[in-house]
Structure 1
Amino acid sequence: MVRVFNHWFSGRKAAFFIAEESALVLALLAGMSLGPVAHPLVTREHGLGAAFLRAAIAALAFAGALYFGDLYDLRSAARDRFDGRRLLRALGVAVVVLALAYLALPVVVPMGWIPRRSLVLAAAGGALAVIAVRAAMPAVVGAPTRVLVLGTGARARKLARDVETEADGLFEVVGFADSNGGSRSADPALPFAGAVDQLARRLRAEVVVVAVEDRRAGLPVDALLACRTHGVQVMSDVAFAEATLKRIPLDLLRPSALIFDEGFRAGPVRRAVKRAVDLGLAVGMLLAAGPVMLLTAAAVAAADGRPILYSQERTGGGGRPYRIWKFRTMRRDAEATGAVWATEADPRVLPVGRLLRRTRLDELPQLWNVLRGEMSFVGPRPERPVFLDELKRRWPLFTLRELVKPGLTGWAQLKYRYGSTMEEQARKLEYDLYYVKNTSLFLDLVCLFHTAKIVLTGRGAK
């Protein structure tokens, strides 16, 4: 795993993306070269650079189609290798985008983009490149990283299950060891006795994760140091979970993991830049979405009369209360019996409200909250005080969410479903802690890209 601007990435996943994009550019260039490579004006004045530019733009069309088809999720990509329908849909979308670009770009760029007879050859070359790289995906990505867990209790077992189910198949737990020298492989039929460094060598482990129940009982320091000096990475269970799961599990968390670890570095410069970005995006979106907001208001009024907007008290950055604004999507008497969380197929939601929630149009009035500085585009979901008090009593770390402003979108909203129970709220807190600890403009950009995909595909709405 590698850390880029405080956000954890899989190096092998990044290598797969780079390999595919490189193959795409080369294939697109090869496809175009079989026809008239460029308009004479392009060849004479721009040469090979223009050809590479066109190939790079075309590669982005393919990459975007694969991204929106969830084909950069390695588990989805692996399943699709035996089915192919998702990949074929993505390739079809990419070819359509290329065709539309061929029609539109010459209006903006007089020199032309891809010559007419080269378009089909370029699209065919790109599709073949994607299929070839996907077929060779196991060789490109490589075998899962072999992980040895120091710990044999519930803590170690749960971490192993979570990593094997949530980490894109990039990690394989090959054994468990205890602090007293009793060790065994993940296969119960293959027990081993000896120190953790001996088991690590025998099982060819690349990472040792310390997940003992009580560190005060002592750690095999000499054996762990031997692992480090022989090139085996040693990580704490919290750090390993953070890097692989992109969340900070509450059942693993110790206060020292947050006190001594890096993170929580939202300085004044970053806050000022983030505020400038929020203002620019909010003004631009309000101007662009003005007609849509008028139509949305008319649809709500026609469906259920007034009020058109829904206002509610929420808790913002620093624990300060503010009022959030949305287009109303529920009946006027939705909370006649008290405040409750929304659920799947909530009967209180109006028919037009379901459409607004699916397209996120109900969230547009919150741009006003962003302009006022009460919210940001990216941050934890703002909670109601009536729920937040109970959540803080159960999980005091909920207070850490108030270190940053709440957001229209956020890491927890993107990575986990809508929380309608206390337990689901606790899981979302794990993702919020990851965001607050690793907050950066780069992670905000990642969230905005994911949000665009979810809005365009209509996923995850309640």
Structure 2
Amino acid sequence: MLRIFRHYIPGLTAILLAGDLAVIGASFMVTLVTSTWGGNGPDALRFALVASTTIFLLYLGDLYNVRLPLGHRELLARLVACQGLAGLLVAAIGFALPSLRLGRWAFFEIGVTTTVGLLFWRWSWLGPKSLARMTIRVLVVGTGPIARVLAELAPISARPFSIVGFIDDDPAASDLIPEGHALLGKTTDLSAIVEELHPDLIVVAQMDRRGHFPAQPLLECRLRGIAVEDWPAFYEKATGKILVTSLRPSWLVFADGFVKTPRTEIIKRLFDVTLAFCGLILAAPVMLMVAAAIKLESPGSILYRQSRSGQNGCVFILNKFRSMRQDAEKETGPVWAAQSDSRVTRVGAFLRRTRLDELPQLFNVLVGHMSFIGPRPERPEFVQDLQKQIPFYMKRLSVKPGITGWAQVKYRYGSSVDDALEKLQYDLYYIKNLSLFLDFLILLNTVQVVLFARGR
């Protein structure tokens, strides 16, 4: 795993990105020598334009998802579609900024050579053999609920790994081993097991370590070059969330991250204001059309204003485009919004699916109630109930709520306590690893969600 500003990127994804940039760079150099560019802008800016638009469209096309199985035909179709859209975007930018415009032959040549190069590069790397090369062999010390969770993660983890076996001193541990795995021995056998199986990583998944923690054998393994990780760190890297139901409060205190500095908050605020201001200008025509559609379909107000819990529990008024019929909660009072809610209008269903109902929250960002990126704000009534049922729930109020967030792009629409728990685990990961880089990734994921209507 590659760590960038406390966020973990799968190694295969990083290799794919580096390879894509190398292919684009080689194609750019060939075109630079053999074609007339047109325009008079610096070549470095042209390369930045071509590379950034290509990578952006490949990301939107899910071509950096190493767990997405793609045959040669589907990879070809996606790649050609992404390259076609990238070409249109480059042409549009060149039309708006003539200094960056590409000549016709240069435009054609760089498009063809880049597409062919990316296709052969990805055919050679993005296959079962490549995934096998990047798969980490993991030896787990401990059994029980946590070990079972780790075993269930292996097929779906963003960090490809396989479990070679389990070690435990409990004689009854064999009954706790997940199906399809083996109990290899006791902690006293650790050195011999490592010598035989050559794992890449040892994960300590013991819940009770009093008198059972194999400190000396684990230290010997580290000195031999084998990585050793505690299970919370491993789980965080593999899933992009924090498993709060099995955590000790001390881990949250001593774990890396959970750092906020005045400098970070100032930069994030400037980032929020700039994005919100630009967003309101660009979205103004869309917002006018949405307002007209709401008014034409059903009587009532265009905006829905509701109390939400903000940073440190301060209550503010959140603005949204109305997606339900007027006075939807007059008889029921505050209730969870369901995925197939009968109170939602036809226009409202479209707004929710595309997240357009969130646009008025740009005003909340401008005045400082919200951030562009952060945990979604909940209603005070729900917060009071959820903090009694979910451990560490109030920690999500330590930062400003956001229009979009890590939980929103990683998890489906939720309408239950279990869903709130799952989203909290993503929110805590965001708070722990907060950075502008992670905010940028969330923005890219949000664009993907909106374009492909993967919302509620």
Q: Show CA shifts across 1:288-335 (max 9, x none).
A: 322322222121111112211111111110011111111100011422
Asked if residue 135 in structure 1 is aligned to residue 123 in structure 2, the reply is yes
Q: How does 1:189-200 map to 2 (within 5 A)?
A: 191=184, 195-200=189-194
Query: Residue 56 of structure 2 is aligned with which of 43, 61, 64?
Result: 64
Do 2:25 and 2:47's aligned partners in 1 also have CA atoms closer than 8 Å?
Answer: yes
Do 2:72 and 2:123's aligned partners in 1 also have CA atoms closer than 8 Å?
Answer: no
Distance 1:180 1:377, change over 3 A: same
Query: Residue 434 of structure 1 is aligned with which of 410, 429, 434?
Result: 429
Distance 1:361 1:190, change over 3 A: closer
Structure 2 stretches lacking a partner, 5+ long: none
Distance 1:361 1:406, change over 3 A: same
Q: Which residue of 2 aligns with 1:148?
A: 139
Give the match's secondary structure for 2:434.
coil
Do 1:173 and 1:186's aligned partners in 2 also have CA atoms closer than 8 Å?
Answer: no
Tell me by how many angstroms 1:425 deviates: 0.9
Tell me by how many angstroms 1:206 deviates: 0.9
Give the match's secondary structure for 2:420.
helix
Asked if residue 313 in structure 1 is aligned to residue 307 in structure 2, the reply is yes
Query: Residue 240 of structure 1 is aligned with which of 234, 240, 246?
Result: 234
Q: Show CA shifts across 1:187-226 (max 9, x none).
A: 6578556522322232211111110131224201111111
Q: How does 1:300-379 map to 2 (within 5 A)?
A: 300-335=294-329, 336-379=331-374
Asked if residue 252 in structure 1 is aligned to residue 254 in structure 2, the reply is no
Distance 1:153 1:284, change over 3 A: same
Do 1:185 and 1:191's aligned partners in 2 also have CA atoms closer than 8 Å?
Answer: no
Q: How does 1:39-78 map to 2 (within 5 A)?
A: 39=37, 50=43, 54-76=46-68
Tell me by how many angstroms 1:20 deviates: 2.3
Q: Which residue of 2 aligns with 1:93?
A: 82
Q: Show CA shifts across 1:23-63 (max 9, x none).
A: 23213443665xx4224886xxx8xx72x654553333332
Do 2:165 and 2:182's aligned partners in 1 also have CA atoms closer than 8 Å?
Answer: no
Structure 1 stretches lacking a partner, 5+ long: none
Tell me by how many angstroms 1:110 deviates: 4.3
Letter in 2 for 1:6: R
Q: CA RMSD in A?
A: 2.6
Distance 1:398 1:104, change over 3 A: closer
Give the match's secondary structure for 1:240.
helix
Work out the percentage of aligned pairs sharing the same amino acid.
38
Q: Show CA shifts across 1:400-445 (max 9, x none).
A: 0011010001111111111111111111110011011111222112
Give the match's secondary structure for 2:150.
helix
Distance 1:132 1:86, change over 3 A: closer
Tell me by how many angstroms 1:338 deviates: 2.5
Do 2:38 and 2:101's aligned partners in 1 also have CA atoms closer than 8 Å?
Answer: no
Distance 1:186 1:307 in 2: 56
Distance 2:96 2:423 in 1: 47
Asked if residue 21 in structure 1 is aligned to residue 21 in structure 2, the reply is yes
Do 1:360 and 1:455's aligned partners in 2 also have CA atoms closer than 8 Å?
Answer: yes
Distance 1:186 1:330, change over 3 A: closer
Letter in 2 for 1:370: V
Give the match's secondary structure for 2:246.
coil
Tell me by how many angstroms 1:248 deviates: 0.4
Give the match's secondary structure for 1:396.
coil
Distance 1:299 1:129, change over 3 A: same
